[in-house]
Amino acid sequence: MAKDVTGPVIFQFFQNIFSFLENGGYRLILLAFPFSKICFRNFMKNFFIALWEKRPRMPVMETSEKRQRGRPRSFNGPAEAASVQSLDRALRILAIVAEGSGLSLSEISAQSGLAASTAYRMLTTLENHGMVEFDTADQLWSIGVETYRMGAAFLRRRKLVDRARIVMQELMEKTGETANLGVAEDDCVVFVSQVETHQAIRAFFRPGTRSPFHASGIGKAVLAHLEPERVGAILHKAGLQRYTDRTLSDIAALAHDLAVIKHRGWSVDDEERHPGMRCVAAAIFNEYGEPIGGVSVSGPTVRVTPERLAEIGPLVRDAAAEVTRMIGGVTVS
């Protein structure tokens, strides 16, 4: 670090002045005052300029942080930057509308925690972009066609729905029951496609319907092929809500069922989510052998009887294996 010499220099300067005055120098100053005033002012100006230029300087830190792609040049903040409040509110309202089957403004306002006037402004903006629709007759808000198109863009990443469609059609014809396709999210299964049976009484899951892992056939098929630590983390976050008398809300009972599922390759939702409905499912795997979703067959318990499970189970397992192969995945036995 550079040595600071400004202090001693200033001290010596004033010490010389006082010594000069004590020796009678003040008389000479009075005689030459007009000239000395100008010289003294210039001297002092140059003296302090010289001191300023010789001052110790702090080193300048050069940042070599590289701008992240996908962000503006002026933005070098952390990835977890604060969200835009208006956008956050609009997306929250969109999610609420998507979960409902036509909601009034007061219902949306109550569920979002926003004032009705604020919620209405958000809804009209979303409506202008085709994200939501308003039924003037019933005065209800519902999801718009643009959200479906955006969701379809997500599914095109793997073309999972398109490639699984023919397999699901064959599975429905072989079993006589509705075939379903679901993908795993962080804390639930989302149904993305369905091939309905021709039976009058049949299972129906609207695309986008969510179902908990522990109370669905596809969900349990996925859990069965995850590490116990991962299963524990998922269940801790999502919980083990009891939906029917048959829901496996006890961790020990669920763990035993998952072990059986992994051994035989297919799972059974035995009225664990909806009374009177039984489901048989098997997992679909990606190229790393990780479960990403599953295929299932569901129907009323009067047709999907316990005696038929041994027949339907292998068919569903083979169908899931075929979809895995079609997307370039690796089946885990």
| DSSP conformation letters of 273-311 | SSTTEEEEEEEEE-TTS-EEEEEEEEEETTTS-GGGHHH
The H-or-E segment that residue 18 falls in is helix 6-20
β-pairing, 277-285 vs 189-195, is: unpaired
- Give residue 69's pLDDT: 55
- Give residue 112's pLDDT: 93
Pinpoint the alpha helices (H) of 140-239. Answer: 145-155, 160-175, 217-223, 228-238
Backbone angles phi, psi at 294, to 5 degrees: -175, 170
Backbone angles phi, psi at 61, to 5 degrees: -80, 130
Task: Divide the 333 residues of the chain into consecutive groups of 10 and give the mean pLDDT of each group.
Answer: 54 58 51 51 60 55 48 52 78 91 93 93 94 93 87 67 91 94 90 84 74 94 95 90 92 94 95 93 93 94 93 96 90 76
- Give residue 167's pLDDT: 95
Cβ 109 vs Cβ 100: under 8 Å: no
CA 48 from centre of chain: 60
Residue 274 burial (CB count, 10 A) = 17
CATH superfamily of 158-326: GAF domain (3.30.450.40)
Long-range residue pairs from 153-159, CB within 8 A, at least 24 positions apart, any chain = 155/192, 158/327, 159/327
Tell me the whole-structure pTM to 2 decimals.
Answer: 0.58
The token pair that represents 23 in the structure block:
């020796």
268, β-bridge pairs: 280
Cβ 224 vs Cβ 233: under 8 Å: no
Helical axes 116-128 vs 85-99, angle rounded to 10°: 80
CA distance 224 to 199: 31
CA 290 from centre of chain: 20
299, β-bridge pairs: 278
| DSSP conformation letters of 90-103 | HHHHHHHHHHSSSB
Cβ 195 vs Cβ 298: under 8 Å: no
Pinpoint the alpha helices (H) of 104-212. Answer: 105-112, 116-128, 145-155, 160-175
- Would you list the domain boundaries of the chain? 85-149, 158-326
Cβ neighbours for 163, distance < 8 A, ≥ 6 positions apart: 323, 326, 327
The H-or-E segment that residue 1 falls in is none
Backbone angles phi, psi at 291, to 5 degrees: -70, 125
Cβ 183 vs Cβ 189: under 8 Å: yes
The token pair that represents 272 in the structure block:
């664990």
Query: Domain 85-149 belongs to what topology?
Result: Arc Repressor Mutant, subunit A (1.10.10)
